[in-house]
Chain A
Amino acid sequence: VSLLAPTASLPRLLLGLDPDAGRLDLPGHLETHGSLPPPVRARRGRPHPLLAEVEAAGLTGRGGAGFPLVRKLRAVLAAGGRGVVVVNAAESEPASRKDALLATRLPHLVLDGAALVAEITRAREVVVWLHRGSAAERVSVERAINERHVAGYPRVRLRVAEGPDRYVAGQSSAVVRHLSGGPAKPTTSPPHATERGVGGRPTLVLNAETAAHLALLARQGAAWYRELGTPDEPGTVLVTATGAVARPGVAELELGVPVAQALAAAGGARPDFRGVLVGGYAGGWLSAEQVDSTPLTAAGLRAAGSTLGVGLVAVLPPERCPVAETARLVRWLAGESAGQCGPCWNGLPALADAMEELASTGGHHLRERLDRWAGMVTRRGACHHPDGVALLVRSLLMTFGEHVDEHRQFGWCGAEPPGGWLPVPAAEEPGLGAWR
């Protein structure tokens, strides 16, 4: 994972992380960020003081959904607390590297945040969730757990758990189901994990980056946290800039700056780039012009037909075709359906077929068909996987409307065949083991 040069008042999370240096061990972590405030014994009827700080700071989840952390904390407390905290560092987005960076270079920031959530909710256990086979992350996190143990800095019991590397396995209900002994497939809610999670206990699942932000917020306070970002979306965010940029990697940016800053942080995009895919593979396209005018916030990106998601910013080079690349991503995403919900199981392959037809042979009916099926899969599943695919398809139709029309009329546009732009993991062998 390469690390990008920060700007002015930054970094926060990435403070003390030299691009050439390795991981921050516990002494390095404490030297850089200082110690956590002493633990507060939370009692019934007297809320933990950090709860108000989290609310005042307006910290939102960084795993894709952008849910306010304070609401999850309150929900777990309302369910009686004393449950489980799961910090998700598995990073199911194939091109995103922020959680890998945190796990391999800044594990103590993540563990601090997770320990704080456990303290606030009086949880008995913290589980760090990783993909099976992500050896570097596992070694780093286990070393960090050991460093804390040796130093007598074990606020809570910490352990690592591993699950299958599947796209929807990162959804919190899938993580909870797997940790309860089932397949890593999403479940219908309610009940939410906050009420009935791992082993039936109240469970708070948060993204590794969210935990890292909490670790700093607890030290510096809400007013400090709000010094950067916008009033509605304060703070900073980690972005992974990739594709047609000079130096792909992870950068920390202030929320509210133009999306173009992600490109600048990566050494600049190729001047004739065609557009950017933002948020994730189930994200939304922006045109090259929109990159300057769209703020890097959840609301700003939503208004532009995209999403902040997990902060992926993938720059499409001029020789590649947005239609063909979208078709490739939709096909892969269709294969990542857990196969539990009819509209997803049927609709995503149908969307992939229509996208491939548009990319190769064309057909005038395809815009209407894609639009219809995108609508037909939206909000019609146990999880939001189909909604994300619909977003990707619709943002293509909106952002590259003219090029889509050329494809409808003439089919293949003569661009590079898709394959070399974004990584798409090999399809999992179908079988019982794939989701365990």
Chain B
Amino acid sequence: MSASDVLPEGPRLTIDWTRCTAHRLCVEVAPELIGVDDWGYPVLPDRSVPPALLRRAEQAFRACPVSALALGQRESG
């Protein structure tokens, strides 16, 4: 999967780790995008969201019960 190579400016999923409490609703909604670590916390893709999965990413963003997820341009640095 190299959609991010084509569209490097696409939006990214980011997380506020101080908010996330591992509800894992984002993982349920978007398993193609979001994995889970050994402690139950989501693992986000380290690249921008491919256009084909943008809707999924939006659904994951809306599913988070504590508003820990964000979907937007990652600021540089």
Partner-B contacts on A (CB < 8 A): 187-188, 190, 340-344, 346-347, 350, 372-373, 376, 380-382
Contact = CB atoms under 8 A, between A and B. Distances in A.
Given A190-B75, A350-B38, A342 B21 contact: yes
A346 B41 CA distance: 10
Interface in B20-73: 20-22, 37-41, 43
Given A190-B75, A342-B22, A382 B39 contact: no
Contacts of A342: 17, 20-22, 39-41
A382 B41 contact: no
Given A342-B17, A342-B22, A380-B17, A347 B39 contact: yes
A382 B18 contact: yes
A187 B18 contact: yes
A350 B40 CA distance: 14
B54 to A, nearest CB: 23
B17 A346 contact: no
Nearest to A189: B75
Residue among A187, A347, A372, A380 with the highest chain B CB neighbour number at 10 A: A380
Given A346-B39, A350-B38, A376-B38, 16 more contacts: A188-B18, A340-B17, A341-B20, A342-B20, A342-B22, A342-B39, A342-B40, A343-B37, A344-B17, A346-B41, A347-B39, A350-B39, A376-B37, A376-B43, A380-B37, A381-B17
Contacts of B39: 342-343, 346-347, 350
What are the nearest 10 A-B pairs in CB distance? A341-B17, A346-B39, A342-B41, A340-B18, A188-B16, A382-B18, A381-B17, A376-B37, A382-B17, A188-B18
Contacts of A346: 38-39, 41
Contacts, number: 43
Contacts of A187: 18
14 contacts: A187-B18, A188-B16, A340-B18, A341-B17, A342-B20, A342-B39, A342-B41, A344-B17, A346-B39, A346-B41, A347-B38, A373-B38, A382-B16, A382-B17
Contacts of B18: 187-188, 340-341, 382
B38 to A, nearest CB: 6
Interface residues on B, range: 10 to 19
B46 to A, nearest CB: 8
A48 to B, nearest CB: 23
B68 to A, nearest CB: 9
B17 A343 contact: yes
A269 to B, nearest CB: 37
A188 B38 CA distance: 23
Nearest to B20: A342
Contacts of A188: 16-19
A350 B38 CA distance: 10
A372 B39 CA distance: 12
A401 to B, nearest CB: 24
Contacts of A350: 38-39
A47 to B, nearest CB: 22
Nearest to B75: A190
Nearest to B16: A188
Contacts of B21: 342
Nearest to B68: A188
A372 B37 CA distance: 10
A153 to B, nearest CB: 36
A342 B36 CA distance: 12
Nearest to B44: A380
A407 B19 CA distance: 38
B41 to A, nearest CB: 4
